[in-house]
Structure 1
């Protein structure tokens, strides 16, 4: 009986590089034989159905909506810590040092992400829906109990540690799900989703400042806690995945990815970006106050920062889809470095600080939507969850230490130049971030040339060895056949 073969040829694909010829053979497990009723054998490639990304659909957009709302409630709400921080410092609420408060803010931002691989594994054995709901529940408990704290160690545990784990559990699963639903407009929708941080930052900073003035800090935290649990519960019910088609891996640690050159460069990019980003974000209010303005006027700086986030992330997503997330990242963070040196350091009036807050908010938060768009370009969609979880470890650890570094670098005397060293640190961090993005871009361009511009979502060539010479040659490459 004659066998009919309906699929791509299974012959090896050959790629040539400076070190010789390397053969790549597709995994036979991705093909399955099916026996039709007429007795003929048909071999069907599951790759086509697995990676036929729909670019939308109802459930795809529900995932984007959930990403937007969890960004709104988690990261947007977390920016309000600068308001609490300013209040604690002004009234010496817990008889603690500024470093204590900064450490708590850092713990809330990043301690849970140090355990992000465990979160990834938890998603694998339960579901993204459960993990998001559980994270919302932890945030509710953290915020509600923090309203009754009397000692600084209690605030460390509630607002710091517990809040950090809640943020991580809510924030880890959804950004890794959205790329399963979008291909052509992937960066755009990811940055649209992460743009919820901006709206949340605007609303929470304005509302919490008003609530504190009228009813005090305790009630501000209680109200925030109830808003968090309601939003997270709704979002946990709206999430849908395409795991049955993509077959993602939920390894806590994937050493094959962890020690690869492009992933290590991406981790360096994350370290420098987060050190600069969090230091800048947490310093804006007090930096404005140091110029001689009130805490209320200082709070407007962080509000404008969040206005920039709200408008900027979807806008930069459009450019990211057109030119590629890595290319746009390099441009954005080189420009962010320039803003720190040219605006923040010489700033001596309210208008300059407001303009700086708006501009830096517009571009610096690009990292949060860019990571889930860049990772598939390096390792493919199947390993996205594992790679994303490991990346969050570095992102979280950087977030923990950033506020402490910011306070340590500021001068003791309250004066216009109090935050000069902080601004210099942020500027250098953004510059190194741009450089790392440039190296990662050169690597991807070189890999594309070696593999014949294959679809990176499939991850077929994620472990190809790219000669360092080719990476250096492509550092300043401007035009490329495929967006990077």
Structure 2
């Protein structure tokens, strides 16, 4: 029934046959289980601060989440190269099993270093091993409507980021933290198991010369600038997502509802499917530039929310706008070279922007602790995002050779 629903839906918008529908369906499940789970970190940040790790500073706790974000990108360097060489199914199987094991191990952790290794390092590495090749596979199957296809499968990310926080809010009071995390593990077994069966590449592997890094790709000045812009954007992009539940409690929002704040942000990003249509019309990079600027503005505005209603509005705009960059950022990287080397090129891009992901939330946490609030952290993170957008426009100019155009 599920397959018939997805296939009929995708056929209705005119982009798939049966195999196309299965590709997007399986990629959606994979994104749900990896980046969707990783982006639910805000729930864990708040719970650890209030309970399990209450004697650890928020900035130190944030290193767990930022390590997840960063390794989800950094690992793409190796997984992208292995994909180009034809190694996809075996790494996918191994990473899936390891991610499930790490999820169950979280329930047994009691100390910071244990959470850091299992949740930060383990889940981050496994997620990065899987999600970048999945995006390249979708790019292989689609050309004319690639933006829409990527956006649809990437909708699995906010879906996971909604399901896990809402489930945590309802399950922790009734069955406790340990069994809540175990339930997450069972969910991931089902979703990743299905993805492992259905997800298949279209093009045969090509042994492009070189190792993990293709340094020649950086001779393309547009690609180099695109990578630099990504580092700056990601340096600030996850600050609000990490601390929004904590800031909600600080302004008087009930702890019960603070769990839903994160879900609202991710629910708004479900609208990213419409961004795929926009990307196909005006270009992926142009779409990212517009919406990521809005993400920077909402990040700056976030600490000034004084009540629940204001925070909900800002959160909704933030969730919708961040979906553009997360969803579409692989498309320009694929377009800046040959398809034979796309996996390695996307992997290098994600690995480099992971440097911003690992440093961003802890820096924001340190700024927040030093200043006694989130205003300065909002300025720092939002300013970094907007500066990254300016560099994004420079990359577009270098690629097109003119100030404006579809890209």
TM-score, normalised with respect to structure 2: 0.90
Partner-residue secondary structure (3-state), 1:383: helix
Match of 1:144 in 2: 104
Q: Could you tell me which of 431, 438, 444 is aligned with 2:386?
A: 431
Range with greater deviation from structure 2 (69-78 or 167-176): 69-78
Q: Greater strand percent: which structure? A: 1
Kindly indicate whether residue 39 of structure 2 is the aligned counterpart of residue 109 of structure 1: no
Indicate conservation of the 8 Å contact 1:202/1:307, yes or no: yes
Kindly indicate whether residue 289 of structure 2 is the aligned counterpart of residue 334 of structure 1: no
Q: Distance in 2 between matches of 1:259 and 1:292?
A: 52
Q: Could you tell me which of 22, 30, 44 is aligned with 1:84?
A: 44
Q: Could you tell me which of 56, 64, 67 is aligned with 2:24?
A: 64
TM-score, normalised with respect to structure 1: 0.77
Indicate conservation of the 8 Å contact 2:334/2:345, yes or no: no
Indicate conservation of the 8 Å contact 2:84/2:207, yes or no: no
Kindly indicate whether residue 237 of structure 2 is the aligned counterpart of residue 277 of structure 1: yes
Match of 1:160 in 2: 120
Indicate conservation of the 8 Å contact 2:84/2:341, yes or no: no
Partner-residue secondary structure (3-state), 1:160: helix
- CA RMSD for the aligned pairs? 2.1
Q: Distance in 2 between matches of 1:428 and 1:413?
A: 17
Q: Could you tell me which of 354, 361, 376 is aligned with 2:312?
A: 354
Indicate conservation of the 8 Å contact 2:42/2:245, yes or no: yes
Q: 5+ residue gaps in structure 2? A: 1-13
- Deviation at residue 124 of structure 1 after TM alignment: 4.5
Q: Greater helix percent: which structure? A: 2
Q: Distance in 1 between matches of 2:41 and 2:295?
A: 23
1:11-37 per-position Cα deviation (integer Å, ceiling 9, x unaligned): xxxxxxxxxxxxxxxxxxxxxxxxxxx
Kindly indicate whether residue 200 of structure 2 is the aligned counterpart of residue 240 of structure 1: yes
Q: Distance in 2 between matches of 1:434 and 1:397?
A: 17
Partner-residue secondary structure (3-state), 1:379: coil
Q: Could you tell me which of 209, 229, 234 is aligned with 2:189?
A: 229
Matches within 5 A, 1:301-380: 301-311=261-271, 313-341=272-300, 343-380=301-338
Q: Distance in 2 between matches of 1:128 and 1:365?
A: 26
Number of residue pairs matched? 393
Residues 241, 109 of structure 1: CA spacing in aligned structure 2 closer, same or farther, 3 A cutoff?
A: same
- Deviation at residue 256 of structure 1 after TM alignment: 0.5
Range with greater deviation from structure 2 (200-209 or 248-257): 248-257
Indicate conservation of the 8 Å contact 2:150/2:328, yes or no: yes
Q: Distance in 2 between matches of 1:124 and 1:219?
A: 39
Indicate conservation of the 8 Å contact 1:283/1:406, yes or no: no
Q: Could you tell me which of 208, 211, 220 is aligned with 2:171?
A: 211
Higher Cα radius of gyration = 1
Greater RCO (Cα-Cα under 8 Å, separation 6 or more): 2
Q: Could you tell me which of 373, 382, 396 is aligned with 1:441?
A: 396
- Deviation at residue 76 of structure 1 after TM alignment: 1.8
- Deviation at residue 411 of structure 1 after TM alignment: 4.0
